Structure formats: C-alpha cells, structure tokens
C-alpha cells in the first residue's frame, strides 16, 4: 500500500473489491451473522424492561420516556460501529492476509474507506432488528426522532470510525498482542460520554473532559429532545467540529503507525 499517494487516484474498484471480500466472509459463516444480531437484541430487551419498571415507579422517567432505551440504541451505534470497523481489520490479521494487501495496489485510504463501509453494513445488520424490537416490545420508535436521529447517527459513527482507525493502527504496529485494545477502548470513554446520565452529574473538573468527547454532545442532545422536545443544533455542530479533528488525527496516526510498522518490520510478523 502506497502511503505517499494517499489522496491521489482513489479507486472505487479496489474499495469495491475489499467490500466484496468482507461480504464473502460474512456470508460464509452463519454464527458470525447471528453474533451481529444477538448482543444488540439482548441489550435492548434488558434495558427496555428496566426502563419499563422505572417508568412505572418514578414520575421523572415516566415523563422522560425512552431515554434509557434510546441511550442503549445510540450507544450500540457507537460501539458496534467501531467493532464493525475493527473486526473487519482484524480479519486480515487473523487470516495473515495483510501482506497480500500491502503488496497490492490498494492504498491505505481505500482500505480504510472499505472498512468504514463494512462498519455501516455490519451495523445495519445488528441495529435495524434492534430498533424494530424496541418498537414492538416497548413501543419506542427511534425513527420518530426524525432528522435529529441523522445528526446523532452521523456524529456517533464518525467517532466510532476515528477510534477504529486509531486502534487498527495500533494493532498494525504492535501485532495481535494489542488486539484487546480493540475490544476495550470504547468502554474507557463510556463513563465520560454520559450515556445514561447528564453531564451535570460529573464533578466540575471531569465535565471538561466529558465535553471533549463528541458522544457526550449526542447523548445530551438526545435527552434534550426526549425530555424537553428541543433539538440542540449547537450541540450537534460542536460534536461535528470535534469529530472532524478526531478523524483527521486518526488518519494521521494510522499513517504514522503504518510507517513505524514498516520501519520495525512488524508487517512481516503480524502475529502476537
């Protein structure tokens, strides 16, 4: 993969070839497909019943119907988006196929774009049934959020790609010994992204950290929409600005880690 020609001559055919490769892989294994559906469904059922129970016993939650289940669905977009990206990347490491790709005309930007598309496909397979389950079991229609849902989705998926690109670079540089980062890094931001509670709950000094994370804006925006019926455009624009910076930084970090992997010979030994 040529690092120098990052922005020139992006080939849709090569991106399509990589998407085809991951599609073949996904369709070759029904347990993998089932796994995409299983966890999101389990999440929405568990949190849906919890929301139902709380709503019956507290006026606030009765008024703020859907905040918990909405948060679960949005968190899953963030988490599954990153996993969808990173698992497709890890497939290349597990299959010892990275050398074949690196030696082909595929460019890093094309590789990353194909991983982004795959994260959307995997997300759709997992999350669309989850939203339907929320609708039929708990009468929570996430699609009723309308246009704001698109703003929430875009900001969350951009963050998930930034994290996915960065951790893929780390695995590229350090081998499969760094694989656990793929599964755990997103959980590190979970308490600070204020998924299930408002930012005001955090100590004042920690609020600064929370506001540095784009998902915090999304979850605050979701609560504003569900509780106060207000769509906070300012929050979405702030999140978009931070996400733009994060995406650029993650691209840069990926290229720097790829160069370091070439320098240290890590691409020849992509095991542990």
> What's the token pair of residue 12?
């849709």
134: Cα separation from own chain's centroid: 20
The residue (of 125 and 135) whose beta carbon lies closer to other proteins is 125
Of residues 68, 73, 102, 189, which one binds other proteins by CB under 8 A?
102
The yes or no reply on residue 176 touching other proteins (CB under 8 A) is no
- What is the closest distance, in whole angstroms, from the C-beta atom of residue 107 to other proteins in the complex? 7
Of residues 11, 46, 230, 233, which one binds other proteins by CB under 8 A?
11
CA dihedral 50, 51, 52, 55 (to 10 degrees): 130
Of residues 55, 71, 85, 91, which one binds other proteins by CB under 8 A?
91
The yes or no reply on residue 190 touching other proteins (CB under 8 A) is no
Neighbours of 4 (CB within 10 A): 7
The yes or no reply on residue 173 touching other proteins (CB under 8 A) is no
The yes or no reply on residue 13 touching other proteins (CB under 8 A) is yes
For residues 86 and 160, the answer to whether their CB atoms sit within 8 Å is no
Positions in 32-71 near other proteins (CB under 8 A): none
Distance, in Å, from the CA atom of 55 to the CA atom of 214, rounded to the nearest integer, reads 28
139: Cα separation from own chain's centroid: 25
> What's the token pair of residue 166?
């960065």
The yes or no reply on residue 256 touching other proteins (CB under 8 A) is no
The yes or no reply on residue 104 touching other proteins (CB under 8 A) is yes
Does residue 33 come out as left (phi exceeding 0), alpha (psi in the -120 to 50 range) or beta?
alpha
Site for other proteins, rule CB under 8 A: 1-5, 8-9, 11, 13-14, 16-18, 20-21, 24-25, 28-29, 91, 95-107, 259, 262-265, 267-269
């Amino acid at each position: 993969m040529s690092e120098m020609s990052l922005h020139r001559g992006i080939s849709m055919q090569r991106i399509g070839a990589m998407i085809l490769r991951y599609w073949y892989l996904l369709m070759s294994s029904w347990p993998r497909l089932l796994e995409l559906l299983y966890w999101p469904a389990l999440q929405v059922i568990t949190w849906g019943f919890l929301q139902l129970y709380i709503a019956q016993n507290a006026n606030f939650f009765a008024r703020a119907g859907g905040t918990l289940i909405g948060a679960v669905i949005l968190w899953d977009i963030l988490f599954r988006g990153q996993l969808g990206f990173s698992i497709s990347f890890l497939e290349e490491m597990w299959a010892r196929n990275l050398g074949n790709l690196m030696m082909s005309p595929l460019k890093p930007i094309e590789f990353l774009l194909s991983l982004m598309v795959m994260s959307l496909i995997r997300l759709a397979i997992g999350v669309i049934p989850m939203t339907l389950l929320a609708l039929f079991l708990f009468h929570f229609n996430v699609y009723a959020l309308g246009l704001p849902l698109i703003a929430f989705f875009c900001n969350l998926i951009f963050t998930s790609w930034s994290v996915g690109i960065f951790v893929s670079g780390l695995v590229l540089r350090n081998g499969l010994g760094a694989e656990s980062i793929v599964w755990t890094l997103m959980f590190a931001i979970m308490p600070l992204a204020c998924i299930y509670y408002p930012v005001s709950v955090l100590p004042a000094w920690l609020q600064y950290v929370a506001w540095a994370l784009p998902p915090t804006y999304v979850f605050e925006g979701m609560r504003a929409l569900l509780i106060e019926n207000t769509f906070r455009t300012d929050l979405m624009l702030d999140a978009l600005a931070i996400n733009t910076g994060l995406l650029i930084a993650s691209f840069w970090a990926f290229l720097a880690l790829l160069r370091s992997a070439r320098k240290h010979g890590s691409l020849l030994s992509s095991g542990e």
